[in-house]
Chain A
Amino acid sequence: MKIKLCMLTIVMLAIWGMKRYYADARVDDLWWILSPTARLAGSMTGAAFGMAPGEGYFSHERLFLIEKSCAGINFMIAAFGMVTFALVHRVGSGLSVVRVLGVSLLASYSAAVLVNAARIAIALWLAAHPIAPSTFTSAQVHRLEGIVVYFGGLVLLYELVQRFDRGIALTRSEP
C-alpha cells in the first residue's frame, strides 16, 4: 500500500512537472514530440513538413503549421496518468514501480505521437474537404475534431492497456 501511494505521488508530481514544462517550453524545445509527429503526419498525408524555427513544423504546399499547442502534450499527460492508474495494482516492489512507470511513459508517448499525427492528418483532410461550412467555422471543426480524436484515442489506449493487463494475468495463471 505504501509503495503504491509512493508511486501515485511520483505520478502526480510528474504530471505537475510536465504541465509546468509545457507551459514554459518554447516550440523548439518540443522537438522530441513535434518531430516524430510531423514525420508521421507527413507519411500519412504525403505532406512535407519542414522545421520553422520559433514556429513549429510547416507544410508549404498545404499551408499548415504544427505549432506548440498541437504538440499533444496534454494528451500525453492524460494518457500517462490513466495508464499508470490502470496498472497501479501491479505495483508491489521498487522494481515494479520502475516497470509500471516505464510502460506508462512509453505507452503515453507512443500514443500521443500516433493520435496527434492522426488528428493532424484528419485536419489536413478536413481543410481540403470542408464540410457544412455554413454550420461550423473552421476553428470549431478543428476543436470538435480534436475532442473526438483525443478522447477516442484515450478510450482506445485504455482498452489496449486493459487487454495487455489481462493477457499478462492469463499468462501468469497458466501452469
Chain B
Amino acid sequence: MNGAMWPTVLQAFRRATPPLAWYYAITLALPLANGAAQAGVAFVEHAMVVLVLPPVLIVLACAAYEGARVLPCGTTGCGMTVTEEPHKRSHRLPL
C-alpha cells in the first residue's frame, strides 16, 4: 500500500465506524450474547470472515478511489479541464 494512502484509509475508517460498529454488534456481539459460541468452530470461522471482510472492503475502496484519483482525467472522463490545478481537486472520500 502506498504511504500517501494512509490518511485516506484512516479517514474512511473514521467515517465508517458507526456502520462497522452496528454491523459487528448485530452479526457478532448479539449472537455471542445468545450463546452462539457454543456452535464452536463453525461460529469461529463465520466470525473471522465477518470480522475481517468489512475492514478489507474499506481498504480496497480507498485503494480504488486513490487509483482512480491519480489516473489522468482523459482516461477517467472526470470532466476536469487541463487548466485546473491538482490541489483544487476534490478530496472527498469514497465512503
Contact = CB atoms under 8 A, between A and B. Distances in A.
B23 A151 contact: yes
The residue in A79, A147, A152 that gathers the most chain B C-beta atoms within 10 A of its C-beta is A147
Contact of B95 (A19, A78, A82, A155): A155
Contacts of A78: 22-23, 25-27
B49 A144 contact: yes
* Interface class of chain B by DSSP: helix
Interface residues of B, number: 18
Contacts of B26: 74-75, 77-78, 81
Given A74-B26, A81-B22, A151 B57 contact: yes
B53 A151 contact: yes
Contacts of A159: 15, 95
Given A82-B18, A86-B18, A158-B18, A152 B57 contact: yes
Given A85-B18, A143-B49, A144-B49, A154 B23 contact: yes
Nearest to B55: A151
Categorize the interface residue count of chain A: 20 to 34
Interface string B59-72: 00000000000000
B16 interface: yes
Interface string B16-55: 1011101101110010000000000000001001100110
Contacts of B23: 78, 150-151, 154
Contact of A155 (B16, B27, B46, B49): B16
Interface in A58-76: 74-75
A82 B27 CA distance: 14
Given A143-B46, A148-B57, A152-B57, A158 B30 contact: no
Interface string A134-161: 0000000001100110111011011100
Contacts of B30: 19
Nearest to B24: A78
A147 B50 CA distance: 7
20 contacts: A74-B27, A75-B26, A81-B22, A81-B25, A82-B18, A82-B22, A85-B18, A86-B18, A144-B53, A147-B53, A151-B19, A151-B20, A151-B54, A152-B57, A154-B19, A157-B19, A158-B16, A158-B18, A158-B19, A159-B15
8 shortest A-B CB distances, which residue pairs? Answer: A154-B19, A78-B26, A82-B22, A78-B22, A151-B54, A155-B19, A158-B19, A147-B53
Interface of A: 19, 74-75, 77-79, 81-82, 85-86, 143-144, 147-148, 150-152, 154-155, 157-159
